[in-house]
Amino acid sequence: PLVTSREMFKKAYEGGYAIGAFNVNNMEIIQGIVEAAREEKAPLILQVSAGARKYARPVYLKKLVEAAAEDTGLPIVLHLDHGEDFEICKACIDDGFTSVMIDGSRLPFEENIALTRRVVEYAHERGVVVEGELGRLAGVEDNVRVSDREATFTDPDQALEFVERTGVDSLAVAIGTSHGAYKFKGEAYLDFERLKKITEKLPGFPLVLHGASSVLPEYVEICNRYGGNIPGAQGVPEDMLRKAASMGVCKINIDTDLRLAMTATIRRYFSENPSEFDPRKYLGEAREAIKKIVKHKMRNVLGCSGKI
Ligand code: G3H
Ligand code: 13P
Ligand code: ZN
């Protein structure tokens, strides 16, 4: 069945582990992830971005996720990732999503609160949970001074006020992660001191980490070996994610790692099997690769294996 994340987050917080929130765009990605969750007996969040919704058309992804829940009997959260306005959140709530993110992090504090509050009211009346975001995830660039960089990180006092005034069910925080395959130029750095202050202000409240792919060198190397060109890609080290999961982070968002695993597998397949042209062959291998990486995450990084 499709469920909300309420119980999942409560247990994850108490248990010091995190639930994986994986972005989905097509059937093979969904099946790879869900098969991993089934084998690992892991709670699961499947999330759909506005871009994914547009690519697949709204009805397809929703029906595919429903099919996955029906096929496996697993409790799955169907979540909107980075909803940018009230309308897309409303559309997804009306469509049967059990969770939405309203991402007002680009807005001034008061406007973010007002927008988020409006979505929370609509969602809660319909039994849907809401993730908000405070602080900005930026690509970490060369020559950015630490003081400038920290200006975009989540302020612990504001986090408390934001949660109290909006009524959100979870909060995405900015502590140094960023989206995509190029997260750090030099050494990886997350502001755990800040995370600790946020959890002290909001004890027991579920936090969310976006931009949490590890960009596993294994897959980057395969991409590059078989004709790709993604030099210098770097993600969040796995031990940092384990640490975050033990500090109130209950949801860890992963998209880039799935993209890399899928692309690496298909590149290699094409190179090694130049005369094959049956999409089921290479998409089937990609689906297996996604299953493998998701199992690894659940078991060795998130700690959510065996939690259902
Ligand atoms: O946060 C972004 C996710 O990786 C989704 O990316 O908007 O290209 O679907 P997308
Ligand atoms: P990655 O780009 O690190 O996979 O982050 C995904 C994400 O935060 C989706 O909301
Ligand atoms: Zn994100």
Backbone angles phi and psi of 104, in degrees to 5: -100, 20
Tens-place pLDDT, residues 223-279: 999 999 999 999 999 999 999 999 999 999 999 999 999 999 999 999 999 999 999
- What is the average pLDDT across 160-175? 98
Instruction: Please name which ligand lies nearest the alpha carbon of 182.
Output: 2
Does the residue 307 lie in any domain? no
pLDDT tens digits, one per residue of 96-133? 999 999 999 999 999 999 999 999 999 999 999 999 99
- Pick the ligand that lies closest to the CA of residue 297: 2
- Report the atom number in ligand 1 closest to the C-alpha of 81: 1
87 CB contacts (<8 Å, ≥6 apart)?
Answer: none
What pLDDT is attached to residue 185? 86
- 296 in a known ligand binding site: no
Asked whether residue 154 carries a pLDDT value surpassing 60, the answer given is yes
CATH of the domain at 22: 3.20.20.70
Q: Of all protein residues, whose CA lies closest to atom 7 belonging to ligand 1?
A: 51
Q: Is the CB of 154 under 6 A from ligand 1?
A: no
Residues labelled catalytic: 81
- Provide the domain limits for residue 59: 6-302
Q: Which of 36-40, 58-62, 144-148, 215-219 has the lowest mean pLDDT?
A: 144-148
Q: For residues 161 and 176, what is the distance between their CA atoms, to the nearest angstrom?
A: 21
Instruction: Provide the percentage of residues in the chain whose pLDDT is more than 70.
Output: 95
Pocket mutation for ligand 2, best pick of 170, 179, 263, 293 (most atoms within 8 Å of C-beta): 179
DSSP lists the bridge partners of residue 133 as: 172
Domain count, the chain: 1
Handedness of CA 129, 134, 137, 140 (dihedral sign): negative
Ligand 2 centre from 78 Cα, in Å? 16
Q: Which residue has the higher pLDDT, 12 or 185?
A: 12
**173 occurs within a structural domain:** yes
Identify the sign of the CA torsion 21, 303, 219, 230. Answer: positive
pTM for this prediction: 0.97
Protein residues near ligand 3, an ion, with CB under 5 A: 210
Q: Give residues (CB < 6 A) around ligand 2.
A: 23, 81-82, 179-180, 210-213, 253-257
Expressed in angstroms and rounded, the spacing between residue 267 Cα and the centre of ligand 3 is 26
How does DSSP classify residue 215?
A: -
Any domain includes 308: no
Residue 73 domain-assigned (yes or no): yes
Start-to-end CA span in the chain (Å) = 13
Question: Does residue 64 belong to any structural domain of this protein?
Answer: yes
Q: Is 210 annotated as a binding residue?
A: yes
Q: How confident is the model at residue 137 (pLDDT cuts 50, 70, 90)?
A: confident
